[in-house]
Amino acid sequence: MNKIKQSLCAVLLLSLSISGISNAQEVRDSNSAEVLGAGSPLMECFVDTALYDEYATPICWGLETRPDRLTTNANFRIRNVPSDFTILWSDDRCSSDRNVCILRIRVYRPITLEAVVLDNSNGTFTSVSATAFYETDQ
């Protein structure tokens, strides 16, 4: 339990230190066209657990209560990609023509995924990243 508290404190401190970054980026609700921020691509993630999973940016974490689940999926997604894009992911298991990447994650082994989103229509690019944490209460 002490490991969980330490990990959660680290995640909270990291979230607070970069909250200005995430607040300045655009977030669109998938069910509406409402714009909540500024406009460039951003990466978000969730860790697949038995609980309700919701994308978060730039840090996500999942807590598992079953001791036999040592691995699960970390789901990463880049939002606000241009219509004609190429994504250069930091992990070669991710596809350059998709804005979603799903990777296996082990407990207490965070994954930081980075990507460069290329707008093929005008040659510009944006760097994005997110970190997924997977913890257990055992």
User: Mean of the per-residue pLDDT values for the chain?
Assistant: 79
The model carries a pTM of 0.72
Give Cβ neighbours of residue 115 (< 8 Å, ≥ 6 apart): 43, 78, 87, 88, 89, 90, 94, 127, 128, 129
- H-state helical runs in 18-101: 19-24
Report the C-alpha gap between 115 and 91 in whole angstroms. Answer: 9
- Which residues are paired to 56 by β-bridges? 45
Tell me, what's the pLDDT at 38? 53
Q: Which domain holds residue 9?
A: 2-136
Contact 113, 43 (CB under 8 A): yes
* Beta strand 59-64 pairing with 124-136: parallel
More confident position, 136 or 46: 46
Per the document, the length of the chain is 138
Tell me, what's the pLDDT at 1? 37
Q: What is the domain count for the chain?
A: 1
Tell me, what's the pLDDT at 138? 72
* pLDDT tens-place string over residues 39-49: 799 999 999 99
